Amino acid sequence: MHFIDTHTHLYLENFDQDRPEMIKRAINRGIDHFLLPNIDQDSVASLLNLCKEYPKNCFPMLGLHPTSVKEDWQSQLSGFEDVLKKQSKTFIAVGEIGLDFYWDRSFADQQFQALRIQFEWAKMLNLPVAIHTREAFPEMLSEIEKAQNGKLKGVLHCFTGTLDEAKKAIDLGFYLGIGGVLTYKKSMLPDVVKQLPAERLILETDAPFLPPVPYRGKRNESAYLFETAVKLAEILNLSLETVAEITTNNAIELFKLPTT
């Protein structure tokens, strides 16, 4: 069985002490592809270095995370635009990008502008987008709808919305990224996911954040994707092998990953 962790921050310093061992633990459980979303200009070098070290396993994205949209957002974006245009083949997606109104709304306008600009890059370069949304699902869906000209594709990473929001995202051509929240006791996500087509779901950890049960409170890592996959199989009433096959194929299709 093979799994793809479609959203994992393995380049962060949380893993500096044991990164090779941690990657080995994941590979030993069949989780052998790691898609790495960027955060801001300070994370690019470590992200690309990791991809250089593990060219068959790690794949880079480039984008500005909504919580990093501050005073200097325009200069960060113009730097990324140059890199993307010069090396669009290096990157598998524009990400992660999005809207996050959980912490504060002081850069809300700039978040919208940065999102729209990065949607345009994705369409122009024919790359998918990896979208982060917190406290902003209705706004995000309306932004996707406005930008959708038939060329925008991507994933709502760490999806935790309602059934209506899930259906709308799928109607707009998007995939839903399912992570550790699926295993949480009080989560409504299982009831939503149960009613969705497996062909639109991909798996992720968002490591080092949001670990699944039984690792809550600890650092998350890509090996723990397995617990979420087991839970998804149970919810969809499918075998684990089938979940592995479908979600892996979905990710290969969306991100145009090499299949060997």
Distance in Å, CB of 245 to Zn ion, minimum: 25
Distance in Å, CB of 100 to Zn ion, minimum: 11
Q: What angle do CA 14, 209, 223 make, to 5 degrees?
A: 80
Binding mask 189-228 toward Zn ion (x if CB under 5 A, else -) reads ----------------------------------------
User: Is residue 182 classed as helix, strand or coil in its secondary structure?
Assistant: helix
Q: Which stretch binds Zn ion (CB under 5 A): 22-30, 34-42, 48-56, 214-222?
A: 34-42
Determine the Cα–Cα distance for residues 18 and 36; give it in Å rounded to an integer: 18
Determine the Cα–Cα distance for residues 74 and 76; give it in Å rounded to an integer: 5
Nearer to Zn ion, 37 or 128 (CB): 37
Distance in Å, CB of 36 to Zn ion, minimum: 9
Distance in Å, CB of 206 to Zn ion, minimum: 5
Distance in Å, CB of 116 to Zn ion, minimum: 20
Establish how many alpha carbons lie within 13 A of residue 77's alpha carbon, considering only the half-sphere containing its beta carbon.
Answer: 21
The one-letter code for the residue type at 49 is N
Determine the Cα–Cα distance for residues 207 and 219; give it in Å rounded to an integer: 7
Determine the Cα–Cα distance for residues 36 and 50; give it in Å rounded to an integer: 9
Q: Cβ distance 198 to 236 under 8 Å?
A: yes
Q: Which stretch binds Zn ion (CB under 5 A): 22-30, 35-43, 98-106, 183-191?
A: 35-43
Nearer to Zn ion, 11 or 226 (CB): 11
Nearer to Zn ion, 37 or 212 (CB): 37
Residues that bind Zn ion (CB under 5 A): 37
